[in-house]
């Protein structure tokens, strides 16, 4: 699982000067956060790390397999929700009867709770993608990592109306043993990917589709994005990839837990 670095530039630009508290100002088309999210001191997590009676601990190993077995594929959508692109992605998924896992950034979920609820209502699953998408979080303190994971869990759960994330995906694959253990103790299976479509780089729809077709033998979990800029290529690629996968005999499932 290679670290996808395309998101680092976008998130690095929108992250502001200092994260003293977990308070965020969200604009109409992109979020901004204060940049202790990137390199400042580690604020104390506002969500409790203690296991709850309604949380079932899951495995802390990084999941890649599909619950549909050898001929299953998992569609995963990162970095949203976004008011322009998430509805379009949802439309394509609905058109082809596909369920996906949405790995949401906490501030994005907080800004667009209506979209989080739409994702849940459509039968998709939620995934914690941290508060501020810091792809270097594996180099930061355990307290900082805990804050990123737990606060995002709280934001996403509140935005959804009480539906908790079932997975945790570290930005850029920046997993650590302690972050995986923490996520698993909260019932969120660490989630990797096998096929990085590189859609974030906007290489063209043909290139995105070709990457899926070429790299699918690597494993069943496919990585797409629904935020961070113009995602029109992603939408069109999904419109082509989903029926192609069906034609190849694949079923659409969720990552194992």
Q: Which residues are annotated as catalytic?
A: 78, 225
What is the Rg, in whole angstroms, of the alpha carbon atoms belonging to the chain? Answer: 17
Enclosing H/E stretch for 161? none
Q: How many residues does the chain have?
A: 257
Contact 52, 193 (CB under 8 A): no
Q: Where are the alpha helices (DSSP H) in the chain?
A: 6-14, 85-95, 106-111, 113-121, 142-160, 177-185, 205-215, 232-247
How far is the CA of 253 from the CAs of 65, 74, 145, in angstroms?
10, 5, 29
Contact by Cβ (8 Å): 48, 194: no
Angle, alpha carbons 31-34-37 (nearest 5°): 95
Residue 166 has, within 13 A of its CA and on its CB side, a CA count of 15
Question: Where would I find the H helices in 61-203?
Answer: 85-95, 106-111, 113-121, 142-160, 177-185
C-alpha 135/C-alpha 49 separation (Å) is 22
DSSP 175: -
**Cα three-residue angle 234-117-221, rounded to 5 degrees:** 40
């Amino acid at each position: 699982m290679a670290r996808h670095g395309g998101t680092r530039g976008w998130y690095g630009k929108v992250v502001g000067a200092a994260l003293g508290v977990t308070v965020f100002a969200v604009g109409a088309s992109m979020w901004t956060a204060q940049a202790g999210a990137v390199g400042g001191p580690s604020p104390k997590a506002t969500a409790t790390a203690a296991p709850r009676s309604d949380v079932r601990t899951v495995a802390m190993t990084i999941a890649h397999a599909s619950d549909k077995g050898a001929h299953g594929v998992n569609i995963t959508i990162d970095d949203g929700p976004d008011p322009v692109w998430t509805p379009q992605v949802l439309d394509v998924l609905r058109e082809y009867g596909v369920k996906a896992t949405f790995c949401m950034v906490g501030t994005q979920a907080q800004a667009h709770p209506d979209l989080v609820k739409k994702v849940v209502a459509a039968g998709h699953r939620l995934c914690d993608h941290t508060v501020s998408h810091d792809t270097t979080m594996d180099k930061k303190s355990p307290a900082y990592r805990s804050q990123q994971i737990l606060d995002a869990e709280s934001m996403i759960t509140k935005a959804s109306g009480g539906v908790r994330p079932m997975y945790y995906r570290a930005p850029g694959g920046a997993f650590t043993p302690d972050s995986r253990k923490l996520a698993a103790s909260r019932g969120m299976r660490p989630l990797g990917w096998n096929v990085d479509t590189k859609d974030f780089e906007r290489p063209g729809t043909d290139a995105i589709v070709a990457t899926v077709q070429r790299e699918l033998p690597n494993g069943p979990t496919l990585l797409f994005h629904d935020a961070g800029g113009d995602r029109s290529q992603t939408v069109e690629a999904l419109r082509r990839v989903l029926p192609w996968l069906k034609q190849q005999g694949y079923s659409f499932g969720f990552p194992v837990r």
